[in-house]
Amino acid sequence: MHIYLVGGAVRDKLLGRPVVDHDHVVVGALPEDLLALGYRPVGKDFPVFLHPKTGEEYALARTERKTGRGYRGFVFQADASVTLEQDLARRDLTINAIAEDAQGALTDPYHGVRDIEARVLRHVSPAFVEDPVRVLRVARFAARFAPLGFTVAEQTMALMRQMVDDGEVDHLVPERVWAETRKALGEPQPSAFLRVLRECGALAVLFPEVDALYGVPQRAEFHPEIDTGVHLELVLDAAARLAPGDELVGFCALAHDLGKALTPPDELPRHVGHEHLGVAPLRGLCARLKVPTEYATLAEQVCREHLNAHRAFELKPATVLKLLGSLDALRRPERLEVFLAACEADKRGRLGHADDAYPQATYLREARAAAAAVSAAGFVALGLSGPAIGKAMDAARLQSIAAVKSEHSAGPAVV
Condensed to tens digits (0 to 9), the pLDDT of residues 231-245 reads 999 999 999 999 999
CA–CA gap between residue 381 and residue 176 (Å, rounded): 55
Q: Which residue has the higher pLDDT, 383 or 106?
A: 106
Single-letter residue type at 380: V
CA–CA gap between residue 34 and residue 51 (Å, rounded): 9
Q: What is the mean pLDDT of residues 189-214?
A: 98
Percent of the chain at pLDDT > 70 equals: 95
Alpha carbons within 13 A on the beta-carbon side of 39: 24
Confidence of residue 388 (pLDDT cuts 50, 70, 90): confident
Query: What is the pLDDT, as a whole number, of residue 68?
Result: 55
Query: What is the pLDDT, as a whole number, of residue 377?
Result: 80
Q: What is the mean pLDDT of residues 284-312?
A: 97
Query: What is the pLDDT, as a whole number, of residue 409?
Result: 59
The span from the first CA to the last CA of the chain, in angstroms, equals 64
Contact (Cβ atoms closer than 8 angstroms) between residue 25 and residue 84: yes
Q: Which residue has the higher pLDDT, 77 or 120?
A: 120
Query: What is the pLDDT, as a whole number, of residue 74?
Result: 53
Cα separations in angstroms, 319 against 154, 209, 358, 366: 52, 30, 19, 15
Q: What is the mean pLDDT of residues 298-321?
A: 97
CA–CA gap between residue 326 and residue 343 (Å, rounded): 16
- The answer to which of 42-46, 104-108, 275-279, 309-313 has the lowest mean pLDDT is 42-46
Q: What is the mean pLDDT of residues 96-116?
A: 97
Q: What is the mean pLDDT of residues 382-394?
A: 85
Q: Give domain 1-113's CATH number out of 3.30.460.10, 3.30.43.10, 3.40.50.1380, 3.30.70.890.
A: 3.30.460.10
Q: Which residues pair with 76 in a beta bridge?
A: 64
Q: Which residue has the higher pLDDT, 117 or 415?
A: 117
Element (H, E) at 11: helix 8-15
Nearest 5 degrees, angle CA 299-CA 325-CA 355? 50
Query: What is the pLDDT, as a whole number, of residue 75?
Result: 64
Q: Is the confidence at residue 297, as pLDDT, over 90?
A: yes
Percent of the chain at pLDDT > 90 equals: 83
Q: Is the confidence at residue 413, as pLDDT, over 70?
A: no
Contact (Cβ atoms closer than 8 angstroms) between residue 61 and residue 95: no
Q: What is the mean pLDDT of residues 290-313?
A: 97
Query: What is the pLDDT, as a whole number, of residue 380?
Result: 78
Alpha carbons within 13 A on the beta-carbon side of 172: 31
Confidence of residue 230 (pLDDT cuts 50, 70, 90): very high
CA–CA gap between residue 62 and residue 78 (Å, rounded): 4
Element (H, E) at 24: strand 23-27
Q: Is the confidence at residue 22, as pLDDT, over 70?
A: yes
Element (H, E) at 64: strand 63-66
Confidence of residue 67 (pLDDT cuts 50, 70, 90): low
Single-letter residue type at 45: D
Query: What is the pLDDT, as a whole number, of residue 381?
Result: 74
Nearest one of 191, 139, 145, 192 to 169, comparing CA atoms: 139
Q: Is the confidence at residue 411, as pLDDT, over 80?
A: no
**pLDDT averaged over every residue in the chain:** 93
CA–CA gap between residue 395 and residue 1 (Å, rounded): 74
Q: What is the mean pLDDT of residues 29-51?
A: 87
- The pairs formed by 101-104 with CB atoms below 8 angstroms and a separation of 24 or more are 101/2, 101/3, 101/4, 101/5, 102/3
What is the rounded (10 degree) CA torsion for 288, 292, 296, 299? -120
- The answer to which of 144-148, 340-344, 409-413 has the lowest mean pLDDT is 409-413
Confidence of residue 65 (pLDDT cuts 50, 70, 90): low
Q: Is the confidence at residue 72, as pLDDT, over 70?
A: no
Cα separations in angstroms, 303 against 104, 346, 403: 50, 11, 28
Q: Is the confidence at residue 132, as pLDDT, over 80?
A: yes
Confidence of residue 410 (pLDDT cuts 50, 70, 90): very low
- The answer to which of 42-46, 95-99, 186-190 has the lowest mean pLDDT is 42-46
Q: Is the confidence at residue 389, as pLDDT, over 80?
A: yes
Bridging pattern class, strands 120-121 and 23-27: unpaired
Query: What is the pLDDT, as a whole number, of residue 275?
Result: 97
Q: What is the mean pLDDT of residues 331-355?
A: 97
Q: What radius of gyration, in Å, describes the C-alpha atoms of the chain?
A: 26
Alpha carbons within 13 A on the beta-carbon side of 198: 17
Nearest one of 1, 54, 53 to 31, comparing CA atoms: 1
Q: Is the confidence at residue 414, as pLDDT, over 50?
A: no
Q: What is the mean pLDDT of residues 165-187?
A: 96
